[in-house]
Structure 1
Amino acid sequence: MASTTSFLAATQARRSMYALAKESPISNKRIIEIVEHAIKHAPSPFNVRSTRCVVLLGAEHDKLWEHAYEITEKTTPQAIGILGPKIKGFGAAYGTCMFFDDSTAVNDLTPRFAALSGQYPEWFEHSNGMHQYIVWTALEAEGLGCNLQHYQPSITPFVTNEWKIPETWSLKCQLVFGKPTAGPGDEKPKRPMEDCLKVYGN
């Protein structure tokens, strides 16, 4: 099926790209539509829909990575020589989508399902990861390069205060995106499939 082939081709094309320009081949409206699509359609435990997103564009995106540089330089000065250029590179990109999980979303569940969900917090991590993957893959298919970063918890207080984030939202990651100015680099060798997949039955 063409739709299946298109999806598989998109998953194969998705790679981490770090050489990104402050340009986008698609409109801001289209970027937001992609994030909205993930929020609406990604799986979540008990359909609880606990993933939250904040998209930063223009000066707001710059503000995030300027702070990330400052806090890294302040808290881990020994690492700024390595991390500093990377953070500057994130700031040079077009935008950032921050992913959160809202702990109050389970309040909408029945007491039985709320109690059950509390026993398996990894289910919410799985759902958040699927949201990230959908957005990343869709942006890739639209001609944007992306890379996924995890500068929490050092940037969390700033993020919470600057963009009025509810205290119940837990920051999970930052997806940086922009127009690629170079390829993703050589693919790393992959393990043989027989080491990764077992099939029983016919």
Structure 2
Amino acid sequence: MTTYISQLKKRRSIYHIGTNVNLNEEELETLIQSAIKESPSAFNAQSSRAVILFGEAHTKLWNLVEKNLKPVTPTEAFPNTQTKLASFAAGKGTILFFEDVDVTTALQQQFALYADNFPLWAEQSTGIAQHSVWTALAEQQIGATIQHYNPLIDLDVQKEWDLPTNWRLTGQMPFGSIETPAGEKEYMADNLRFRTYK
């Protein structure tokens, strides 16, 4: 098994996270930035953006999510929602992933033949960036999940951290020490997923 595949196997959804990570905030920032910078994008667009939240900012995000979810969640289901959000807030930090829509629009104008494809390619870029960061964290024994409370929280996030309006939120990644490992991963049969022709 190659080292890279071994790292991919480490990347799991870890929901029980804490603050006892083996890297300091500066090292985490460098790791996250490097993973995103080395992630490929169509036409080398480099349209992925990220905001890294630690400390009070990290806690504030999950309070903000709770505030936005409360009016749209059935009363009887809200305690479970609060428990889930508290598990994310218990981590070391959160990464907010964005795509710069101005980059996509400019490419659509510059390469009209591919205009319809650029939004799809932007989605692929943000997915690759998220996966790269997730795997890089896993390599350091740091757990994470990817959450999607956008677009519900978009306006509040933009206002709270004074972010450009052309940054479109695509996902939130709470991360931290692995307090409870993921269970055994189940795989569907290969013959249902793959085909090879010669």
- Give TM-score, length-normalised by structure 1: 0.90
1:61 corresponds to which of 52, 55, 58 = 58
Contact 2:36 2:133 in 1 (8 A): no
In the alignment, which of 34, 41, 44 is matched to residue 44 of structure 1?
41
Q: Indicate conservation of the 8 Å contact 1:96/1:177, yes or no.
A: yes
For this pair of structures, how many residues does the alignment match? Answer: 196
Assess, with a 3 A threshold, how the Cα gap between structure 1 residues 151 and 93 changes in structure 2: closer, same or farther.
same
d(CA) in 2 for partners of 1:103 and 1:129?
A: 15
Q: Which residue of 1 aligns with 2:144?
A: 146
Q: 2:81 aligns with which of 83, 89, 101?
A: 83
**Structure-2 residue corresponding to 1:155:** 153
Secondary structure, aligned partner of 1:172: strand
Residue among 180, 183, 186 paired with 1:182: 180
SS across alignment from 2:173: strand
1:74 deviation in Å? 2.4
Once residues 84 and 33 of structure 2 are traced to their aligned partners in structure 1, the CA distance between those partners, rounded to angstroms, is 28
Which stretches of structure 1, 4 residues or more, deviate above 4 A after TM superposition?
107-111
Of 191, 194, 197, the match for 1:194: 191
Amino acid at match of 1:134: S
- Classify 1:48/1:117 alpha carbon distance in 2 versus 1 (closer, same or farther; 3 Å): farther
Read off the aligned partner of 1:25 and give its amino acid letter.
Answer: N
Cα 1:195–1:93 shift into 2, 3 Å = same
Amino acid at match of 2:18: A
In structure 2, C-alpha distance between the alignment counterparts of 1:177 and 1:71, rounded to whole Å: 21
Question: What letter corresponds to residue 96 of structure 1 in structure 2?
Answer: T
CA–CA separation in structure 1 for the residues paired with 2:55 and 2:162: 18
Question: What amino acid is aligned across from residue 100 of structure 2 in structure 1?
Answer: D
> Aligned equivalents of 2:116 and 2:88: distance in 1?
36
- CA positional deviation for 1:150: 0.4
Q: TM-score, normalised by structure 2?
A: 0.92
Q: Distance in 1 between matches of 2:151 and 2:106?
A: 27
In the TM superposition, residue 75 of structure 1 has moved relative to its aligned partner by 2.6
Aligned pair in 2 of structure 1 residues 41, 165: CA closer, same or farther (>3 Å)? same
Percentage of identical aligned residues: 33
Q: Distance in 2 between matches of 1:157 and 1:107?
A: 21
CA distance in 2 between counterparts of 1:50 and 1:175 reads: 18
Partners of 1:117 and 1:68 lie apart in 2 by 36
Alignment equivalent of 1:24, drawn from 16, 21, 26: 21
Change (3 A) 1:110 1:17: closer
CA contact (8 A) 2:18 2:177 kept: yes
For 2:104 and 2:42, locate their aligned partners in 1 and report how far apart those are by CA, in whole Å. 10
Report what 2:92 is aligned to.
94
Which segment is superposed worse, 134-143 or 69-78? 69-78
2:6 to 6, 9, 27: 9
Deviations 1:118-157 (A, max 9, x none): 3111111011100000000000100100011001111111
Amino acid at match of 1:94: K
Unaligned runs of 5+ in 1: none
Cα drift, residue 65 of structure 1? 0.3
